Amino acid sequence: MLKRKTELFKLLGFSVSVDVSWGIILFLVVWSLAKGAFPAYYPNLSMQTYWIMGVIGALGLFLSIIIHEFSHSLVARKYGMDIKGITLFVFGGVAEMKDEPQTPKIEFLMAIAGPIASLLLSLLFGALYQAAATFGLSVPTVAILGYLSAINLLLAIFNMIPAFPTDGGRVLRSILWWIKGDIRWATRTASRISVLFAIFIIFIGFMNMIQGNVIGGIWWILIGSFLFSAANSSYQSLLIKQSFAGKSVKEYMNPNPVTVPTHTTLQEFVDLYLYRHHYKMFPVTEGGRIIGLITFNALKAVPQEKWPTMQVAQIMQKAAKENTLPAAMEVHEAMLAMNESGISRMLVESHGKIVGIITLKDLLEFFTLKIELEA
C-alpha cells in the first residue's frame, strides 16, 4: 500500500497524493450515503439528489481528512521533521514521515494535532448545521452539514483509539516514552497493546458476520487486520532504523558483484549466470566498468528463439536514478527506496561512477542476525 499513488496537488510545501485504494472507500462512501444514510434520515427526495448529496459528502470527507493530515504535517515541520507528503488510501490518510520524532513531547503534539483538527471541524460543521436548519436552508444543505459534523467527530474518536501507529497509538507511545525514556520499549509496548486491540476488533468483525451483518463484519475484520499488520511493521521499522543508524549504503554494498559483459548472448547469460547464481539482477560491464544492469523480467520479455543471437547490451537498462542509490545514502532510506520501487537489488553510485550493488536480502539478513544476537 502507498506504492501506487498519484500526486493531486501541492499546498504549503506538502504534496498531496492519492493511493489507488482510495477509490474503494470513495465509492463506498458515495454509495452508502446515496443509498442508505441520506434516504433514511431525509426521505422523499429524488434519487438524483441523493447521489449528488453523496458525492458532495464524500468530497467533504476527502477535504476533512486532508486538513486532519495537514495538522500533523504542520506541527512536524515546526519541530524540524521532514514530511515526504500526504497520501490518502483505503483506511483514510497518512502523513509520510522520513524520521521518527526526537522527543516524547514532539510526538505527543504531532499526534494530538490531527484529532483536535477533526474535533474543531466537527464543531464548525455542527454550528453551520444548526444555522442552516434555523434559517430554513434546503434539506440537502442541512443533511450534508450534519453528516460532515458527525463524520469528523467519528474521525477524531477513531484516531484516538490506542492502536499504534494511529494517532491514539502515537499518543500512547509518547506517554510510555516519557515515563521510561526508552523509545524502543515504548514502541514495543504500544505495538503489543495495539495487536491485542486489533485482535479484539477482528473478533467483533466475526461476531457481526455470525449475527448476519456480513458487510459490517468484513469492514471490522479489514480494519483489525490493517491495525495488526501496521503495529508489527511499525516496531520492526524502528528496530531497522536503530540497527542501521548512522550507517551508509557504502558500508553494506558488494563492491565486487558477479557482472555480465555487454557482448554476452542471452543464452549464455541464462546458462552461465542466471542458472548458476540464481539472481534476478546482474550488473552489466563494458571495458571492465559497470554501465547498467540486466534483469530476469527483461529476459522473459524476449522470445527464447532469439536468445542465441541477441546480446545483453540490447536489453540491458542503463544506470539511472530509478535503479541506482548513492553510496552516501543512509541504509534505512535505501531500504525504503527499494521497498517503494519494488527493486530489491540496486546499483550503488559514487561521484558519477558505479562502485557496486546493494541487495535488500543482505540487509535483512544482517538485521535479523543483529536482532538475534541482541536478544
Active site (catalytic) residues = 69
CA 250 to centroid of chain Cα atoms? 27
CA torsion, ordered 207, 213, 219, 224, to nearest 10 deg: -10
Pairwise CA distance, residues 266 & 86, whole Å: 43
Pairwise CA distance, residues 278 & 271, whole Å: 11
Strand pairing report for 14-19 and 5-11? antiparallel
What is the H or E stretch that residue 7 is in? Answer: strand 5-11
The H-assigned helical ranges of 15-160 are: 22-32, 38-41, 47-78, 104-134, 139-159
Do residues 112 and 171 touch, judged by C-beta distance below 8 A?
A: yes
Tell me the DSSP string of 139-179.
HHHHHHHHHHHHHHHHHHHHHTSS-TTSHHHHHHHHHHHHH
Do residues 242 and 331 touch, judged by C-beta distance below 8 A?
A: no
Do residues 218 and 209 touch, judged by C-beta distance below 8 A?
A: yes
